[in-house]
Structure 1
Amino acid sequence: MTATDPALTALASGWAALYVLHGRIDAHIERALQAEHDLSVREYSLLDVLSRQHDGEGGHLQMKQVADAVVLSQSATTRLVTRLEDRGLLARYLCPTDRRGIYTDVSEAGLTLLAAARPTNDSALREALDEAAKNPELAPLVSAVESVNR
C-alpha cells in the first residue's frame, strides 16, 4: 500500500471529515454551555457520566473508568474532578469495600446544574448537526450519528 493508494486516501479523507464534524460540534456546544452555564463540554460530560452511576453491582466508576468514559487521561480527569469538586459540584469518597479506591459522586448542586445544562447541550448539538448536514462532505456522517441508537 502506498501513500497514494486510493483506499488510503479515502480513509484519510473520511477521518478528516469526521475530525471536522467533531470539532464543529464540540466548539458549538462549548460556546453554548459556557455562555449559559459557565460549564465546559468536558465538565458537562464528566457530570453526565457520573450522574449515571448507581448503587448496584458495578454502579460506581473508578477514576480509570471515568477517564475512559470522558476520553481524557487519568491525570486530566483527576484535575477536572478537582476543579468541579472545588466548585461544589462533585464529592469524592473512599470505596467502602476497598480503602484504596476513591469514587466520585455528583452533588445536589452538580445535579441541578446538569439538569439546567442538559437542554442547552441537546439544543446546541442539534443546531451543530443541522448546520453540518448542509455540507455535502459532512452530511453522511451526520446521518450516521443520527442513526446510532435509533
Structure 2
Amino acid sequence: MTATDPALTALAHSWSALSLLHSRIETRIERALQAAHGLSVREYSLLDVLSRQHDGEGGHLQMRQVAEAVVLSQSATTRLVTRLEDRGLLARYLCPTDRRGIYTDVSESGRVLLEEARPTNDAALRAALDEAALDPQLAPLVTAMEQLDASPRLLGQPA
C-alpha cells in the first residue's frame, strides 16, 4: 500500500469523521457538566468509573486500570484523583491486605454530585448524537455507536 492508496485515503477520512464525532460529543458534554455541576468530562468519567467498584474479589481498580478507563496517563489520572480528593469527592486509603496498594473510592458527596450530574451527561450525549445523526458523514458512526454492546469488560471496568 502506498500513501495514495484509495483504501488508506478512505481509512483516513473515516478516522477524521470518528475524531470529529468524538470532539462534538465531548464538547457538548463538557459545556453541560461545567455549567450545571462544575465538573469536567474527565472528572465525571473518573467519578463514574470509581463509583462502579465493589468490595468483592477484584472489585477495586488499580490506578493503571482507572487510567485506561478514563483514557489518561497514569500521572494525569493521579493528578485528577488528587484534585477530586481535595474537593472532597474522593477518598484514598491503604489496601487492608496489601499495605503497598492504595484504593480510591468516591465519597458520599462525590456520589451525590455524580448522581446529580448523570442525567445532565446523558442528555448532553443524546443531544450530541441526535445532532450528529443529521450529518451524512457522521450518521453511520452514530448508528454504529448506538448498536455497540458496551459491556463492562469492553470499558475496562470490573464485570
**Length-normalised TM-score, structure 2:** 0.93
Correspondences of 1:124-139 after superposition (within 5 Å): 124-139=124-139
Q: Secondary structure at the match of 2:14?
A: helix
Question: Once superposed, which parts of structure 1, at least 4 consecutive aligned residues long, lie more than 3 Å away?
Answer: none
Q: Are residue 2 (structure 1) and residue 31 (structure 2) matched?
A: no
Correspondences of 1:44-63 after superposition (within 5 Å): 44-63=44-63
Which residue type is aligned with residue 81 of structure 2? V
Correspondences of 1:1-150 after superposition (within 5 Å): 1-149=1-149
Q: Secondary structure at the match of 1:142?
A: helix
Q: Work out the CA distance in 1 between the residues paired with 2:71 and 2:100.
A: 23
Q: How many residues align?
A: 150
5+ residue gaps, structure 1, are none
CA displacement 1:69-101 (0-9 Å, x = unmatched): 101000000000000000000000011111111
CA RMSD after TM alignment: 0.8
Q: Secondary structure at the match of 1:60?
A: coil
5+ residue gaps, structure 2, are 151-159
Q: CA deviation at 1:148?
A: 1.2
Q: Secondary structure at the match of 1:76?
A: helix
Identical amino acids, percent of aligned pairs = 81
CA displacement 1:99-125 (0-9 Å, x = unmatched): 111110000000000000000000000
Q: Secondary structure at the match of 1:104?
A: strand
